[in-house]
Amino acid sequence: MQSTFILIVIVVYFGLLMLISWLTSRKGSGNDTFFRANKSSKWYVVAIAMVGTSISGVTFVSVPGMVRNLDMSYMQMVFGFFFGYLVIAYVLLPLYYRLNLTTIYGYLDQRYGSKSYKTGAWFFLISKIVGAAARLYLVAFILQTLVFDAWGIPFVVTVIGIILVIWLYSHKSGIKTIIWTDWLQTILFITALILIVWQIAVRLNLDLSGVVTTISNSPHSRIFVFDDWASTQNFFKQFFSGMFITIVMTGLDQDQMQKNLTIRTLKDAQKNVVSYGLAFAPINFLFLSLGVLLIAFAEQNGIVLPEISDNILPVIASEYLGQTVLGIFIVGIVAAAFSSADSALTALTTSFCVDILNMKAVSQTKAQEQKDIRTRRMVHMGVSAAFVLIILLIEAIGSDSIITAIYKLASYTYGPLLGLYVFGLYSKVKPTDKWVPYVAIAAPVLCFIIEIVMQQLFGYRVGYELLLMNGLFTGLGLWMVSHVKKGGKGEWTIDNGK
């Protein structure tokens, strides 16, 4: 009965997404529509959609779950997020709009050269497809556990079905459709979050003041950690990591920036970024508050919490709160997951077509346009297939907390992008383009070695500050290769500036 109810909720929800796809694709499905939505999006619609893109299904289950081990210290990173969004709005967006870019990595081509451009694009493609697949894996796993296991449907079929649905509503008009589906999904998952908090409060016999008292008196209400410099939860590590993670995972990420670049003017795009940047603090605080209330609910009812923190909310929602809350939870987590995954699928397709295949948003001839559309659709299918394979690989490997793994991956793969952009923006030196890919690979390898050495020799656990270290090594490497010049006999020499 429970699995049938969940399936009905999902089918109705998917039908709504397909309706939006049909409405947004009636007036055209060319590459300019797919890549840039014809530069016609409203900033306030994009602002709401961007919240859904940034907060995935992983956030929906991992953030409440992390309260058990880390209290509410995640808010330290969230505070850093906003300052990262200010950098995006007033440093990066003016650059992107001035260059009139289809993808943000076109800047690297103009600043460094074609090899640097391709390197940046490939780092994004690898980072994004693994990160997005990891986020979607969690939702696929939950749906498999709650619905499809009962019917004997294999996990691989569940994954293929989810990716197929996303492909169906996104393959025609791309980002134009995604903006509106993500707008809807943001509204739905925030509504679901509020309703779940309310239902938990009702079962704890708490009014609003009682909720505030329960959270403030909880041993898990700690937000700030100033007393332990070795801890990865130290305030300064978390705050600055949050700031720079936002800069790289949003400002240097085609997935996150593609919606912003569909807005016609820079001023409106900046209003959009600042608006949704402000929204993250209250939304994440609500997720963490839910985590505190879930622990209080479990203690009051003698519930043994699952060992894996990511499973706390799914288990309580499915086994102790009734069908109504379960339905709300499913809508919330699916909405959060799809608003992140569909955007990633579109951005990956866009980046591969534009950055790797050198496709133009607006083709010169009708015949070329039709050829480019066919190529784009093949790439879209190829990226979808890659999603399936990576999700199945993640399922085989497993992970205790997906969100921690995603941020750790970002520290390695987005670090070179951070170094490339900071060096490009704040220096006039031009590195030798040929050597840039080697620098971008060497920096993460060096960071990995340092992380192991620090842990083994000094007992120091490197946290998200790894991202800053990675960017710094990339910048130093770029400075070094900027002094490598080709001599008259074809030999490479060091230019000492004399």
- pLDDT (tens digit per residue) in 123-132: 999 888 888 8
Query: What pLDDT, on a 0 to 100 scale, did the predictor assign at position 305?
Result: 87
Q: How far is CA 142 from CA 58, 92, 162, 325, in A?
A: 11, 37, 12, 15
How much is the pLDDT for 147? 78
The confidence score (pLDDT) of residue 461 equals: 73
- DSSP code per residue over 185-233: HHHHHHHHHHHHHHHHHHHTT--HHHHHHHHHHSTT------S-TTSTT
The C-alpha torsion from 246 through 252 and 253 to 256, rounded to 10°, is 60
Distance CA 296, CA 223 (A): 18
- Number of neighbours of residue 233 by Cβ within 10 angstroms: 18
The residue that leads in pLDDT, 354 or 323, is: 354
Please tell me the distance from the alpha carbon of residue 424 to that of residue 420, in angstroms, as a whole number: 6
Residue range 88-95: mean pLDDT, rounded: 94
Fold of 2-413: Sodium/glucose cotransporter (1.20.1730)
The confidence score (pLDDT) of residue 288 equals 94
- What residues form DSSP beta bridges with 494? 484
CA distance 376 to 356: 12
Percent of the chain with pLDDT over 90: 37
- Alpha-carbon distances of 175 from 17, 74, 235, 335, rounded to whole Å: 14, 31, 37, 17
Position 400 pLDDT exceeds 60: no
pTM of the model: 0.82
pLDDT band of residue 2 (cuts 50, 70, 90) is low
Torsion on CA atoms 411, 416, 422, 427, rounded to nearest 10: 150
Rounded CA-CA distance 107/261 in Å is 14
Say how many C-beta atoms besides its own lie within 10 A of residue 405's C-beta.
18
Token duo for residue 321: 């709160």
pLDDT at 165 over 60: yes
> Going by C-beta distance under 8 Å and a sequence separation of 6 or more, which residues neighbour residue 442?
473, 477
Overall average pLDDT of the 58-86 stretch: 89
Backbone angles phi, psi at 171, to 5 degrees: -75, -20
pLDDT tens-digit map of 268-318: 999 999 999 999 999 999 999 999 999 999 999 998 888 888 788 888 888
Q: What is the mean pLDDT of residues 316-341?
A: 80
The full set of domain ranges for the chain reads 2-413, 417-498
pLDDT, position 78: 92
- Whose tokens are 């996104």? That residue is 170
User: What is the mean pLDDT of the segment spanning 194-217?
Assistant: 92
Tell me what pLDDT residue 498 has. Answer: 42
Among the listed residues 33, 38, 52, 50, the one whose alpha carbon sits nearest the alpha carbon of residue 334? 52
State the Cα–Cα distance between residues 341 and 294, nearest whole angstrom: 27
15-29, 97-111, 182-196: least confidently modelled range? 15-29
Q: Are the C-beta atoms of residues 88 and 273 closer than 8 Å to each other?
A: yes
Q: Are 49 and 177 in contact (CB under 8 A)?
A: no
Q: What is the predicted pLDDT for the residue at 32?
A: 82
Inform me whether the pLDDT recorded for 350 exceeds 50: yes
pLDDT of residue 406: 64
Which of 55-64, 335-344, 432-441 is modeled with the greatest confidence? 432-441
- Mean pLDDT throughout 387-414? 73
Mean pLDDT in residue range 208-217: 93
Q: What is the pLDDT of residue 295?
A: 93
Tokens standing for 149? 């296991």
Mean of the per-residue pLDDT values of the chain: 85
pLDDT in tens, 213-268: 999 999 998 988 888 776 778 888 889 888 988 888 889 888 889 899 999 999 99
365 burial via Cβ count (<10 Å: 0-12, 13-18, 19+): exposed
**Residue 403 reports pLDDT greater than 70:** no
How many CA atoms, within 13 angstroms, populate the side-chain half-sphere of residue 56? 23
Asked if the model's pLDDT at residue 96 lies above 90, the reply is yes
CB 226 within 8 A of CB 4: no
Structure tokens at 431: 């590195």
Does position 84 have pLDDT exceeding 90, yes or no?
yes
Provide the angle, in degrees to the nearest 10, between the axes of the packed helices 415-426 and 114-146: 140
Q: How confident is the model at residue 464 (pLDDT cuts 50, 70, 90)?
A: low
Rounded to 5 degrees, what are φ and ψ at 69? -100, -30
Task: Name the nearest CA neighbour of 463 among 278, 190, 237.
Answer: 237
Q: What integer pLDDT is reported at residue 404 of this predicted model?
A: 61
pLDDT tens digit sequence for 114-155 = 999 999 999 999 888 888 888 788 778 878 887 788 888 899
Looking at residue 473, what is its pLDDT?
94
pLDDT digits (tens, 9 = 90+) for 10-57: 888 888 888 988 888 877 667 788 888 888 899 999 999 888 777 766
Q: What's the per-residue H, E or C state across 447-465?
A: HHHHHHHHHHHHCCCCCCC
